Structure 1
């Protein structure tokens, strides 16, 4: 890599199958099985993403198939019950869809997934048109980077920038994505920052910082008074 941050566009699946709002229930099941996916984006007539139909949405049909209404007596029927009566993608889908743009960072996409408890996000442009799908497994691809590539980024973007001419005294080792920094540096106040920045390098699993300050020069004459500090008698 060239040091440029990985974005959603770099890891997403670009070839995506989608549904129209009028897609029939059985056609949705067939499409999921054919493409071996567990969720599909739903598009309106303008081609914009308006929702997502997942296996969980489809299973409401089976859950309430025998008339188990569960939410009897409630003013508003549960979402599962409403979806159990749906026969098209428009009625089954979860809307509005949680989406992300192609130039979003992987961290942003991960936060959206966690916050909304979803496993994948439709990727849309600024007009809402579908460009791809990014999944949890896609976000993990960054951890497949070679140790040598990670080490190169840490040396260039962290060690050299922070410690300058003193960078030669810092050894950078990477094994299975775990970065170890060893050596002595003049400015120890930069050590916590080095750890933080190294952890932010893409593909890094963990950082073990073994950096310390320069050794103190020994006091060769500890018993002799310092003439500069001696006070007149």
Structure 2
């Protein structure tokens, strides 16, 4: 990852950081979020690099190739699509559902937002906890007045007077398509700051949902996969790979054992070049 991509990911991570400090239980999620944002930043960088070529007519228009997509050694790059990672069936609410029932549905499904569909199952919007909060605020204080009232966005205030999913929802909806590449869906979700994207067919009908967690798992490999590749790499560098103990946690690789210092320097440099490796910790002892 370039310095520019890393800076972009770090800036986005800071904006996503809660006002309170991260707890020890939340640290793994913080690391995963950082790796997800780094992958999205790499995709954004690739997109920006291709835009000038597209405008000049030297390249076909279309989404950029993913710099962070999984590419098994010695094989053709694997391009994952939304259909490969989306969740089906997708839970949705009808446009005429009362806001109280919408609140119950969000709580039962343990999600922060749900797509709103019409009678033909077309996605017409998304209703979220924020929309319900606007409704609750209007119920508690039906009239705007003073400085606080002037700070409210007009549309949000007006929406708070709605009584059904269709009158409370945010529209037009931001959606993904089953044939869309995962990196492009991730870029869409990151740009719109959404945790969930409804997936629709070419007619706008709901066919699934893809979450930020789904995209994260598709964009970056888990620790077990990284460890397997590191151990394979060590096997190509050493006659006896058992001389090195490898552990991986949240993308950070730790090497332990007794090795020649020159070998360690070459080995750590090679490990850092592995996709999705966040850092390398050298706990080896010199022979």
- Do they fold alike, i.e. is TM over 0.5? yes
1:62-81 paired onto structure 2 within 5 Å: 62-65=136-139, 66-69=141-144, 78-81=154-157
How far did residue 20 of structure 1 move?
A: 1.7
Q: Deviations over 1:134-181 (max 9, x none)?
A: 22222233456353x34666899xx9xxxxxxxx5699x783334699
Gaps of at least 5 residues in structure 1 are 160-167, 185-190, 209-233
8 Å Cα contact 1:38-1:54 kept in structure 2? yes
Q: Which residue among 268, 271, 278 is the counterpart of 1:206? A: 278
Across the two proteins, how many residue pairs are aligned to each other? 188
Q: Which runs of 5+ in 2 are unaligned?
A: 1-69, 73-77, 256-262, 281-287
Q: Which has the larger radius of gyration?
A: 1
- Asked whether the 8 Å contact 1:25–1:89 carries over to 2, the reply is yes
Q: CA-atom RMSD, angstroms?
A: 3.8
TM-score of the superposed pair, with normalisation by structure 2:
0.52
> 2:196 corresponds to which residue?
120
Matched, 1:38 2:38: no
Give 1:62 deviation, angstroms: 1.5
Deviations 1:58-109 (A, max 9, x none): 11112122224258689x9712211111111111110010011223333222
1:1-233 to 2 correspondences below 5 Å: 3=72, 4-65=78-139, 66-69=141-144, 78-142=154-218, 143=220, 145-147=222-224, 149-150=225-226, 168=236, 175-176=248-249, 177-178=251-252, 198-199=274-275, 204-206=276-278
More deviation, 30-39/88-97: 30-39
C-alpha deviation, 1:120, in angstroms:
1.1
Distance 1:45 1:53 in 2: 17
Residue 25 of structure 1 deviates from its aligned partner by: 1.5
TM-score (norm 1): 0.62
Tell me if structure 2 keeps the 8 A contact 1:150–1:174: no
Deviation at 1:195, TM superposition (A): 7.0
Higher helix share: 2
Equivalent pair of 1:83/1:91 in contact (CA under 8 Å):
yes
Deviation at 1:22, TM superposition (A): 1.5
Could you tell me how far 1:34 is from its partner in structure 2?
2.2
